[in-house]
Amino acid sequence: MKFGVVTFPGSNCDEDMVYVLETIMGQQVERLWHKDTSLKGVDFVVLPGGFSYGDYLRSGAIAKLSPIMGEVMNHADKGGYVMGICNGFQILTESGLLQGALLHNNNQKFICKNVYLKPATSNSAITKGLDAAKAYKIPIAHGEGRFFAPEDTMKSILDNDQVLFHYVNEEAQVSDLSNPNGSMHDIAGICNPGRNVFGMMPHPERAADAALANEDGKRFFESILKYC
């Protein structure tokens, strides 16, 4: 599979993602610049974490206007795979590729720490290969990660089984104490109704190398490669 990793001004997790996909997972990777007007034949687009355009206005609000995003949206509309992590998730909601919004954390502070996630569905390429009863330790690093959606939108997301991950404790139990940012329904990631666009706040690419003493994130990429 050929992956494309997009770099916006202010991205800072693009090379982390390239390293995991290329070196750890052995995949072909194309580096895409935000001003590009071609996806260069990639099968799977990744919008990485960081602070695109300094997070001015709202996180992702300016990045959605970059030339590359027109091609990303066309790719998604045709059923192509797109994944946004952290700032990439914010860009996907701003561009309308995913429902809802990412608001300021409920404590109004930037949070950088390890959290635990549990798959909420097996009906997705990124979760199908995961253990639904396991808590996966994945780092977060965000100031605007509180998932919010209006009541009717949230009902649609829940009814359509679009929630990918919940924040949980180390025993894989959903708990308010395990929710780091106040996200509705403890949501850490969702997909679109077509199930080809994924967004999540935690960073699996930061937990995919044995040198970091945590390879829980590698399981997410293994699932993608097996089921996409």
- Summarize the confidence of residues 172-187 as an average pLDDT: 96
Q: Is 205 a catalytic residue?
A: yes
Query: Residue 109: what pLDDT?
Result: 97
Residue 26: partners with Cβ closer than 8 Å, 6 or more residues away: none
DSSP percent split of the chain into helix, strand, coil, nearest 5: 30, 25, 45
Active-site annotation holder among 13, 86, 142, 166: 86
Q: Is 228 a catalytic residue?
A: no
Query: Residue 93: what pLDDT?
Result: 98
Q: Which of 106, 179, 178 has its CA nearest to residue 144?
A: 106
Q: What percent of the chain has pLDDT over 70?
A: 100
pLDDT at 15 exceeding the cut of 90? yes
- Summarize the confidence of residues 88-94 as an average pLDDT: 98
pLDDT at 191 exceeding the cut of 90? yes
Residue 63 structure tokens: 């990045």
Active-site annotation holder among 71, 94, 144, 205: 205
What's the pLDDT tens digit per position in 106-121? Answer: 999 999 999 999 999 9
Q: What are phi and psi of 128, to 5 degrees?
A: -60, -35
pLDDT averaged over every residue in the chain: 97
**Cα angle value 122/41/67 (rounded, 5°):** 95
Query: Residue 171: what pLDDT?
Result: 97
Q: Which of 54, 56, 75, 70 has its CA nearest to residue 11?
A: 54
Structural domain count of the chain: 1
Query: Residue 57: what pLDDT?
Result: 86
- Beta-bridge partner residues of 118: 166
Q: Is 86 a catalytic residue?
A: yes
CATH number of the domain residue 177 falls in: 3.40.50.880
pLDDT at 188 exceeding the cut of 90? yes
Query: Residue 192: what pLDDT?
Result: 98
What's the pLDDT tens digit per position in 18-71? Answer: 999 999 999 999 999 999 999 999 999 999 999 999 998 899 999 999 999 999
Query: Residue 221: what pLDDT?
Result: 98
Could you list the residue range(s) of the whole structural domain that residue 174 is in?
2-227
- Beta-bridge partner residues of 81: 44
